[in-house]
Amino acid sequence: MGLNESILELIRLSATDLSIDVEQAIKQAYQTEEKNTPAYNVFSTIFDNIKMAREQSTPICQDTGSLVFYVDYPQGDSQKKYRQAIECAAKEATGFQYLRPNAVNPITSKNSGNNIGINAPYIHFHEWDDDMVRIRLMLKGGGSENVGAQYKLPHPALKAGRDLAGVRKVIIDAVTNAQGLGCAPGIIGVGIGGGRDTSFTLSKEQFFRKIGERSSVKELAKLEQDLLVDLNKLEIGPMGFGGKTTVLEVFIGSQDRHPATFFVSVSYTCWAFRRKTMTINNGEVKYD
């Protein structure tokens, strides 16, 4: 299989085959809801849909999102090669209806029709010491992207200071404001520190962690665990219908900040949490 075909398969899997860790988290949430409530019925529909999409090889959700790639490549390799292969695969995937055309020029409002445009797909490149290549893909839905939020601490209205207690408060505020609009139950990615741009970037990178994988930083791991409990007390529930599960997971990352700034960026993804990893090691391609 050539690089183009391998990436096409990465896109197909991302759009149609929900990762097992996410499916299991949804299953657990399903079991906690009372039978015949709107929340229970939502989970039942979600479950059937996951199965149908996998069997039919059709998109789990019609919003197949913005394509965000993360490419880690060995020294001496060519970025251009990967960019060309990604663009070619994205076009083909649109033709096969694995993807909806989602690249719209903001000036003309014209949809390019093939998911190719300015910074679309967006590719993060990183040269690493490893010999293998790793290509990660996130399909980031628009509805959930719209409920993301960035806070600047201190935040007087929430009495949130420049510490982890302040961080906790703004995350609770963001999830409350999101209600069901990001297709709850969601997964929350948080970036603490950095500039406005790198803060959001860090929040999104958290989404490549597996459900249940706690931060290696002790303080953040505790905050993640506490927030998972607190956020589900909001009882916004699936689709915002009310229910026991509002979020499936909280991932928090941190990076150094400028002495004068303290940003907290909260990214939200819907339950249709679509991200996959592909590795190429000595010509052997694997997907996770």
CB of 1 to other proteins, least distance (A): 24
Q: Which amino acid is located at 41 in the chain?
A: N
Report the distance separating Cα 232 and Cα 211, nearest Å: 16
Terminal CA-to-CA distance of the chain, rounded, Å?
Answer: 17
The verdict on 239 binding other proteins (CB under 8 A) reads: yes
In the set 21, 88, 101, 117, which binds other proteins (CB under 8 A)? 101
Task: Answer yes or no whether residue 258 interacts with other proteins by CB under 8 A.
Answer: no
Closest to other proteins by CB, 113 vs 195, is 113
Residue 187 beta carbon to other proteins: minimum distance, rounded to whole angstroms: 13
- The CB-of-105 to other proteins minimum distance in angstroms stands at 11
Q: Which of 29, 42, 89, 133 binds other proteins (CB under 8 A)?
A: 42
d(C-alpha 104, C-alpha 82), whole Å: 23
45 near other proteins, judged by CB under 8 A:
yes
Q: Residue 66's closest CA among 10, 116, 11, 140?
A: 140
The nearer residue to other proteins, 13 or 71, going by C-beta atoms, is 13
Nearest to other proteins of 135, 175 (CB atom): 175
Complete DSSP assignment for 216-277: SSHHHHHHHHHHHHHHHTT---GGGS--S-SEEEEEEEE----TT--EEEEEEE-SS-EEEE
In contact, 17 and 99? CB cutoff 8 Å: no
Indicate which single residue of 21, 30, 49, 116 sits in contact with other proteins (rule: CB under 8 A): 49
Q: Residues 150-189 vs other proteins: string with x where CB under 8 A? A: --------xxx--------x--xx--x--xxx-x------
- Give the residue among 134, 258, 136, 251 at the shortest CA–CA distance from 196: 258
Start-end of H helices in 17-56: 20-32, 38-56
Q: Within 57-96, which residues bind other proteins (CB under 8 A)?
A: 58-64
- C-alpha 71/C-alpha 134 separation (Å) is 6
Q: Give me the sheet containing 284-287, strands edge to edge.
A: 122-128, 66-74, 133-140, 274-281, 284-287
User: Which region among 5-13, 41-49, 68-76, 254-262 touches other proteins (by CB under 8 A)?
Assistant: 41-49
State yes or no: residue 33 binds other proteins (CB under 8 A).
Answer: no
Residues near other proteins (CB under 8 A): 38, 41-42, 45-46, 48-49, 52-53, 56, 58-64, 97, 99-102, 104, 109-111, 113, 143, 146, 158-160, 169, 172-173, 176, 179-181, 183, 230, 233-237, 239-242, 246, 270-272
